[in-house]
Structure 1
Amino acid sequence: MAQKNWLIDWVLTRLRGYPRPALEGMRLSPNRTSSENGLIVQFFTWDSKHPGMSWWQHFEAEVPRLAELGVTQVWLPPPNKAMTKMGQGYDAYDLWDLGEFDQKGTVATRWGTKEELSHAVGVARAHGIDVLIDAVLNHKIGADRTETFDVVPVDPQNRLRDLAPRREIEGWTAFDFPGRNGCHSAFKWSQEHFTGLDWDHKKRLKGVYRIVGGPHKGWSKFVDNELGNYDYLLGVDIDHRHPDVRQDLFTWGEWVLKTTGGAGFRLDAIKHIDRYFLLDFLKHVRKATGRDDLFAVAEYWSANVKLIKPYIYAFQGLVSFFDVPLHDNFYQASRAGPRYDLRTVLNNTLLKFRPGDAITFVDNHEQIGQSLESWVGVNFKLQAYAVILLRGEGHPCVFYGDLYPNEECYDPHVAGGLQLLIEARKKYAYGDRIDYPHSRNCIGFVRAGDAQHGGCAVLISNADPHQGAQGAAHKVRMNVGMDIGSTSFTSLFGAGSVDVSAEGWGTFTCPPGQVQVWVKSGSP
């Protein structure tokens, strides 16, 4: 299929107006008629490994607790066979092997077997939780043999700049999948299905090499323009314009959902993937599975919201996006401490620009020891979670590493507070919101509640309790509802109660550097 001109398509879409916000048309919970808040949990860290069972079995064992917390979707790690026995799956070897075939020295993946995955997903669905499949569609790693072909070395810092004339190299580009032996898919990959790679095995030289000759068309034009052209990321880069590649990946997308029981996708590294392929992929899977409300969230890693906007136009409401700019604001706030003006925390974020396209998060598996590291400090972790869980805009995603004990990033104070905030989201964070931007170091808001749920009053502080006047508790007068009558509100974090007048006014307090959530006394 002929590629469209990206610029012309973007301009025409702008003239037509933005598509409907993605979240409005997506399934956020198996129970479509539920009035409860939806919530995603990313159920893994980079080095996740359970000492006594497979990761899929661990997930299955935790399903009842997740359901009780109000979780409606779980994002699991890539289920495909990796290039090594303990690979996380982002080192994608064979998408069609979910832990079923003896390949790369193992039948099970790092996470478990295909049967364990399918059973766990079934248990999750029975408890009202959808599972999202992490789709690694940009590259392949761990080929079965080498091939000889022509390339042009390019500048790693500017992939549009050739460094040397065309020459022959030996590259790991042949994927035969002998352990699978054609089961599920007979397609075998060779150098003609890739655009580039980073290793010349013949000369033992690392670089960035654009494959040339034969049917090769060079880098895709419809990728991010970072480093001149960001088609190449790592491993051997897939050419998503090749018709056989497209057919195999389209079929895999349909198959993996039907096989596992998954309900949608997390799309990895989309700034490196041809945009029109991804759009066609989603359209195909929606049609083939009959899921017009298919959930999809894309990882476009940039703190610049302006760079995300064209993707919102291009994907026509079929994809939501992780709000990386908001995560970056949280990161900067944790580094700056009381110097950060909390009234600006939503500035230049997807949540402020298009909340109906925003998947909000505080941290994820990329944030510890990885190339994208920007870990939000524990001094601001609960404040950030209060923003995404209780304000009522966007669709929040909670990180396993912040909720469950682990060796990478666990903090018991954060985990305990986070569970309270998750429970507050389930029970109280409903209805209209009124913001109270009290000061640079304290902001608040009130959720009015609805017919089925009580509301809440929330205060967030980043003041330093050890520095002079900043050490005093914040006192903010907020209105929790004109028709509430004389009553009192109690803190979920053990800070006592506040009397509320018949007109709904009360003076709420928050210790410096903390979060307080207040609910009507006696609320369940």
Structure 2
Amino acid sequence: MMNTNKFLCSLLLGGALFMGSCSGDDSDDVVDATDDITGTPEIPAPSEPQALDLASLDNGNRVMMQAFYWDVEPRFAWWDNLSEKVPEWSEAGVDRIWIPSPAKGQSGGYSMGYDVSDYFDFGNYDQHGTVETRFGSRTELENLIATAHSNDIEVIADIVLNHNSGGGLQYNPYRDYDTYTLFNEENGNASGMFNRTYEDFYPNSVSQYDPGSLFYEETNLDHHRERVQDWLWKDENSVAKYYKNVMGFDGWRFDYVKGFEPWVVKEWNEAVGGFSVGENFDGNPDVLRDWIEASGSPAFDFSTFYKLEESLDRFENLSILESDMLWKTNPKDAVTFTANHDTEKDSNEDNYIMSSNKMKAYAYILTHPGYPTIFYSDYENEEFKDELKRLISIHNSLAIGDTEILYADQDEYVMKRNGSGTNPGLILYISINNGTKRRTVSSNWSNVTLQDYSSNSTYFPTSDENGAVTIEAPANGYSIWSITE
């Protein structure tokens, strides 16, 4: 087996741009913050380097807030809770909030909206044991949307297009038994809009099978039926047009897109426009790319989520971050995230990122290409809040330009954003080693003092005339480097 230290040293002696310590990942590569592990003299730094004004480097990028978690509390007051938080979120750099499915569900005042019954009941009809939804009244929802808009934030509605719940029982000749497929004013659809029967669900006289549902098969809407299309997105009083033109929603998060064909999303977006993102719960980037191509919509980047979970938690190996991910080929269509309402309530440890690794994962998505999503429970966690604000500020300023992985091994990952114009870009350094790490890399900055804009390091290295600079990462942490004034 090749000796890794000798191999790296041979690269150094051969004139490679990367200049490391030639010490591998053994204990002699773990140093105190005051040590220089390369032995290369550094140009003395000014005693008080002046940080860049990140506000003056606004790159136009923003982040989305997932504005809920599973089983939010307090019940009946969630829309008002969000209305109070929206101004602060806007100031922090959020430009969209994604809210849960806003319509009345079968579980009434306990429903998180994913057991949708009446698409047009926003908390203003008495059915399923309550007038208000779990989140509040229609008036409170309308106030939230208006408050968000006045703070330059778009509101993204969660849209459940396949499975319905809470209808009345009726004989279904296509299944030869009774099914809960009757939705009318007396049976789970008090609005009287988009009444449904068994003919609107699979199977029926038009479609004999369900092409994609994994659950709720008896009440899975058949999107091939013209009247279903009319009520969902085509007619002027369709779900899509009512939500946009009457309620004021700005975009769509499509729930469980594995349950219906991608052309449905494509036609919906062609009918009403707005931002959209699909929940294709799959870690294979090729599956995500194929769905994006067919639907014309961005997708949540589950490929990056799972690579972060594998590298930080499951296998503790940062070289996994060199793997294929959606953002690497489709940065404009990759909505990245580190947690959501499903992953955080999932008992499967491979479906969530541990709290101790959350900030490293956020540092990754907030410095790499893609459109990052912040999870409500993380942002409102006082342990994380200030740190997330700093990361969002860095994302909205320095996280720009082409991406280059400078170094990756089991416990280190170094990535560079090359900047654009007068924006210098950044270098991200993540370490899962138990000691402070330093590594010399090739930057785009010559003879300039750097600082860590994440505030995790007090080290102030200076690059040489060729841009080589020694940066550090704290033990089991990260740092984000750029130039000073």
TM class by shorter chain equals 0.7 to 0.9
Q: Distance in 2 between matches of 1:186 and 1:486?
A: 65
1:160 paired residue number: none
Two-structure CA RMSD over aligned residues (Å):
2.5
User: Does the Cα contact within 8 Å between 1:383 and 1:460 map onto a contact in 2?
Assistant: yes
In structure 1, the residue matched to 2:226 is 243
Within the candidate set 440, 463, 477, 1:501 is matched to 463
Q: Cα offset for 1:35?
A: 3.9
User: Is 1:321 matched with 2:299?
Assistant: yes
With over 3 angstroms needed to count, the CA separation of the structure-2 counterparts of 1:346 and 1:353, relative to structure 1, is: farther
Q: Which residue of 2 aligns with 1:208?
A: none
Q: Could you say if the C-alpha distance between residues 499 and 278 of structure 1 is closer, same or farther in structure 2, counting changes exceeding 3 Å?
A: closer
**1:505 CA displacement:** 3.4
- 1:443 CA drift (Å): 1.1
Deviation for aligned residue 1:348: 3.0
Aligned 8 A contact 1:231 1:237 in 2: no
The structure 1 residue matched to 2:171, chosen from 148, 173, 177, is 148
Q: Deviations over 1:442-479 (max 9, x none)?
A: 1112334445755333211122x1xxxxx3x2112234
Which residue in 2 is equivalent to 1:430? Answer: 400
Identify which of 283, 287, 308 aligns with 2:270: 283
1:81 corresponds to: 104
Distance 1:233 1:328, change over 3 A: farther
Contact 1:43 1:399 in 2 (8 A): yes
Within 1, Cα distance between the matches of 2:424 and 2:72? 37
Amino acid at match of 2:282: S
The separation in 1 between residues aligned to 2:289 and 2:399, in whole angstroms, is 29
- Match status 1:101 vs 2:116: no
Q: Is the 8 A contact 1:380 1:462 kept in 2?
A: no
Would you say 1:365 and 2:365 are equivalent positions?
A: no
**Count of aligned pairs between the two proteins:** 421
Q: Which residue of 1 is the match for residue 183 of structure 2? A: 175
**Contact 1:462/1:514 (8 A) holds in 2:** yes
Paired position in structure 2 for 1:67: 90
2: CA distance, partners of 1:371 / 1:169: 35
Q: What amino acid is aligned across from residue 129 of structure 2 in structure 1?
A: G
Counterpart in 2 of 1:218?
A: 208
1:23-172 to 2 correspondences below 5 Å: 35-50=59-74, 54-84=77-107, 85-143=109-167, 145-152=168-175, 168-172=176-180
SS at match of 1:500: coil
Structure 1's 267 and 371: CA in aligned 2 closer, same or farther, altered over 3 A?
farther
Q: What is the one-letter code of the residue matched to 1:141?
A: S
Is the 1:81–1:95 contact (alpha carbons within 8 Å) kept by the matching residues of 2? Answer: yes
Q: Closer, same or farther in 2 for the Cα pair 1:235/1:94, shift >3 Å?
A: farther
> For 2:66 and 2:165, how far apart are their aligned partners in 1?
24
Q: Give the Å deviation of 1:433.
A: 3.9
SS in 2 for 1:139: coil
Is the 1:476–1:507 Cα contact (8 Å) retained in structure 2? yes
Aligned mates of 2:303, 2:452 — CA distance in 1: 34
The one-letter amino acid of 1:238's match is L
Contact 1:447 1:480 survives alignment (8 Å): no
Unaligned runs of 5+ in 1: 1-33, 153-167, 196-210, 224-229, 287-293, 406-411, 466-470
Q: Is the 8 A contact 2:63 2:373 kept in 1?
A: yes
Is the deviation greater in 275-284 or in 324-333?
275-284
Conserved 8 A contact 2:160-2:255: yes
- The secondary structure found in structure 1 opposite 2:366 is helix
CA distance, structure 2, for counterparts of residue 309 and residue 371 of structure 1: 28
Q: Alpha carbons of 1:431 and 1:353: their partners in 2 closer, same or farther (altered >3 Å)?
A: closer
In structure 1, the partner of 2:55 is: none
Q: Which runs of 5+ in 2 are unaligned?
A: 1-57
Structure 1 residues 171 and 117: CA distance shift in structure 2, 3 A: same
Please give the per-residue CA displacement for 1:50-91, whole angstroms capped at 9, x wherever unaligned: 37x711111111111111111111111111011122100001
Identity %: 25
Task: Work out whether 1:194 is the aligned partner of 2:198.
Answer: no
Q: What is the aligned partner in structure 1 of residue 280 from structure 2?
A: 300
Residue 111 of structure 2 aligns to a residue in which SS? coil
1:7 is matched with which residue? none
What is the one-letter code of the residue matched to 2:326? L
Shift of 1:351: 1.6
Contact 1:427 / 1:454 at 8 angstroms: preserved in 2?
Answer: no
CA distance in 2, matches of 1:259, 1:349: 38
Does structure 2 retain, via aligned residues, the 8 Å contact 1:491–1:497? no
Larger strand fraction of residues: 1
Alignment of structure 1 residues 454-469 onto 2, 5 Å: 455-463=425-433, 465=434
* 1:404 maps onto 2:380 in alignment: yes
C-alpha deviations, 1:300-320, integer Å up to 9, x for none?
Answer: 1111223233322212xx300
Q: Given that residues 121 and 261 in structure 1 are in contact (C-alpha distance below 8 angstroms), is that contact kept between their aligned partners in structure 2?
A: yes
SS in 1 for 2:224: coil
TM-aligned CA deviation for residue 216 of structure 1: 4.4
Q: What displacement does 1:432 show?
A: 4.1
How far is the alpha carbon of 1:388 from its aligned partner? 0.9
1:502 Cα offset (Å): 5.4
Deviations 1:102-160 (Å, cap 9, x if unpaired)? 121222111111111111111111211111110011111011x21112345xxxxxxxx
2:399 match: secondary structure: coil
**Structure-1 residue corresponding to 2:23:** none
2:355 maps to what in 1? 378
> Distance between the aligned counterparts of 2:81 and 2:120, measured in 1?
23
